[in-house]
Structure 1
Amino acid sequence: MNQSIQSSNLQTWLGQGKALYELGRYQSAIAKFDKALQLDPYRLDARISRGYARCEINDCAGALEDFDLALRLQPENASAWHGHGIAEAKLGHYLLAVSSFEQSLQADDSEPITWYNCGNALMHLKRYKSALKHFDRAAELNPERHHTWYKRAIALAALNREPEALESLDKTVALKPDCYYAWTYRGTMLNRLSRYPEAISSFEQSLHCRPLNPNAWYGLATTYALLADADTAGLNLQRAMQLNPAIYILMAQKDASFDRIRSCEKIRRLLRIPHQPPSQLRE
């Protein structure tokens, strides 16, 4: 084939593949990248692009093959290392993922998404202080991304820094007012700070954003339980259990928030706690 025609065809396949990727049509994008790589197996951007598309369809083994070859061609390619980290994280290989993300950051430390993804992998390893540093840097580079502020709040909460976590959640919902899960987590932080009226408002805002939201119903139940309002706590717990009974029964059985009302008959029935005769209670 004429070299100029081959080059033109390769650019066409690449362009079509990247357009399909942006549309979320990952299988079709992979087919286009396959065509490009048939013309030039060592075309770096085609190899990396196919790796990312394979990640999206959870073909992580195939993605790693693409990224490994790309890194043999260009050992300090930040995008290839980043993709490598994503594939490793999807496989649950968080130590390897962190190593790959750090290699990417050594090559190019200006990408906020790499800092963010490395922070996520560190969270899975329970390395919360390191994760927080990565989320801080991601937020510095791109302060408008609500996901970063949300994950930063989770890291702060894991470090028992609830007031700062609350500030980060305030930033999250300021950027994305309909972020129901941030409103729910905000309510949980307010519960920890014993700011119960504000917690109730936060859970209610979460339900306004997403009515079929059992975590928010459960959150309301915990707040009212902490206020020793067994009737309202039970009502909200029932609503959560209607959507997913098994998980919320188990959660409430183990949740210290319910300790003040656990002996109430209504709560005992909901939590399926067997009634104990008075003689056993005295023992």
Structure 2
Amino acid sequence: MTHRPSSAPRRSLTVGVSLALLCLLSACATTTEARPWNAVIPSVPFKGGLPAAKERLDVGDLDGAMRVTEEHLLASPEDPSAHYTRGTLLLGQGRWADARDALARAAAIEPDNAGAWNNLGIAQTELHERKAAEASFRKAAGLRAEDPTPWVNLGNLYARSGRYADAREAYDEALFRDPQDQTLAIAHAGVLIRSGGHEQAVETLESAMQTFGETPEGLTTLAAALRGLGRGPEALVQSEKALALAPGSPSALLCVAMSLDFAEKPEAATAYERAVTAAVGTGVELAAVYNRALFAMEKGNKALATELLTRYLVIDPGDTPEHHNAVVLLERLAKEPTTAPATP
């Protein structure tokens, strides 16, 4: 799903954020393609005052849009629409601190701009300012009661923090406002899995796919739920269906590897190698590296597990449950005697 930052009326310059990656997933969870907050600025109308910036957005010229916006701010430094536009563009560049400052300025000048609060929450999340982000998303939700977007973002924030029960409640609120959103249903199922609700996740996913059709994301999440229920053969079937729908997909490749691993198939080692190779530079790289490290540990390959966990910490230095787990696992490995690995 393209994550829709909320937009106040006539202010719908938005940031596309994938909801698919709810969390980094261990062997009983889903595999996903994109990190939350990977921002893309689509061409969307927004409040008048910056028509030249909109013209540049319409043709994909983000640099030009930023230049025009900053020129406008020199002439009108208190224009909240310009600060909002600039902050949202900065999100698209991954300049989280600058985006936070610009969006905070927009919200201070015009506190009823739900879009500014929502997008401010995204920047604060990336900066690990979680309490502030939670407050910003809730402020946006209060200003736009009918909009599911702040609730989606709040669910992402909670899931990212390991607060899966809270994430479920937030996604419930979002689904109440947009029950036809298939990807949101898949995201909801993902946190159900992480909080132990595997049966409910299966029901949610089967219902969603019956209504909307099968998707690689739905199938990989269903496979995760089935693994959590100990239904390995069914999980492998769903994983292979996902890969057939999306050949070469890092997410589907990892799902197949995890299902083969769960079924204790010898092909799992090669499947993990393929998944990690395909995942380099994508949002699923973290999950692929993490799960391959767990597999290496299980097989007694201390050297490979140490290498992979170290790599994991380099590419994800953030404050996440998986990051802390990786640190603990590395410490445990350092204390263990080195033995000949059971797998290459």
| TM-score, length basis structure 1 | 0.75
Larger % of helix: which?
1
Mapping of residues 1-283 of structure 1, within 5 Å: 14-21=50-57, 24-170=60-206, 173=209, 177=213, 179-227=215-263, 233-244=265-276, 247=289, 249-254=292-297, 274=340
1:41/1:234 CA distance change after superposition, 3 Å: same
Alpha carbons 1:54, 1:62 under 8 Å: kept = yes
1:192/1:90 CA distance change after superposition, 3 Å: same
Alpha carbons 1:21, 1:53 under 8 Å: kept = no
1:41/1:275 CA distance change after superposition, 3 Å: closer
- Structure 2: give runs of 5+ residues left out of the alignment: 1-46, 278-287, 306-337
What amino acid is aligned across from residue 240 of structure 2 in structure 1?
E
1:24/1:161 CA distance change after superposition, 3 Å: farther
Give the structure, 1 or 2, with the largest relative contact order (CA under 8 Å, sep 6 or more): 2
CA distance in 2, matches of 1:177, 1:237: 31
What amino acid is aligned across from residue 274 of structure 1 in structure 2?
A
Deviation at 1:249, TM superposition (A): 4.1
Q: How many residues align?
A: 252
What amino acid is aligned across from residue 101 of structure 1 in structure 2?
F
What amino acid is aligned across from residue 340 of structure 2 in structure 1?
P
CA distance in 2, matches of 1:221, 1:52: 38
CA distance in 2, matches of 1:222, 1:68: 42
Deviation at 1:244, TM superposition (A): 2.5
1:240/1:210 CA distance change after superposition, 3 Å: farther
Deviation at 1:176, TM superposition (A): 6.5
- Structure 1: give runs of 5+ residues left out of the alignment: 1-10, 256-261, 277-283
Task: Map Cα deviations across residues 148-200 of structure 1 (whole Å, 9 max, x no partner).
Answer: 22221121112100011123333555576574243222112112223233212
1:31/1:249 CA distance change after superposition, 3 Å: same
Deviation at 1:19, TM superposition (A): 4.5
Cα root mean square deviation, aligned: 3.2
CA distance in 1, matches of 2:86, 2:48: 15
Higher Rg:
1
Task: Map Cα deviations across residues 3-39 of structure 1 (whole Å, 9 max, x no partner).
Answer: xxxxxxxx98612323544655432221122233233
